[in-house]
Structure 1
Amino acid sequence: MRVALGKRAVFSADLYCRDSRSAKKALNELVISVLAVDFSLHGRDNSCVVLRWAQSRSRLPNRVVLTESDRSRRAQLGTLLNSCGYRSIDGANFYR
């Protein structure tokens, strides 16, 4: 299942999670093949909080796609994914 995390629907996904609560629920309950991540979410949490939560529970999928357009925020997400064991050639598609 393809899941998109963020305020904007810029990735073709089966499920769109716009806040951290729905994202955590999806990561905890579903088998996810691709997680598309945008930085901003509705509410006080951002995607970094959700990614750290998922990593601590071993719920991150093998492929994560960064859909964030702001370079500094994309770099922040990329650094977090690198620290979780992901690698990327283009800075957008991360594989474990």
Structure 2
Amino acid sequence: MLDSVLSIVAWLCTILIWIVIIQAVLSLLVAFNVINTYNDFVRQLVYALDRITEPLYRPIRRILPDFGGIDFSPFVVIILLNIVIMLIRGLQTELLVT
């Protein structure tokens, strides 16, 4: 039972990592005018991804110093989520051994 819950949490962390990557790439494309937010689909997608990722970025942005135009919070979120996944996998391994 606990193994299933841990697998679901690890799976959700993996999905969050992909959402962060997609949001970061999409924000770069918007910033460089490769795509624009005049398109309704793009605007709604950017809005939805911002709503998902902003709660993850906000505490990290308070801690990180300002680096000018570069936002390192997506990198930090990805690293932290990978650490959570590794901890979950280690816990699952320990549960299987005992």
TM-score when normalising by structure 1: 0.28
RCO greater where, 1 or 2, for CA within 8 Å and sep 6 or more?
2
Write 1 or 2 for the structure with the bigger share of strand. 1
Which of these two proteins has the greater Rg computed from alpha carbons? 2
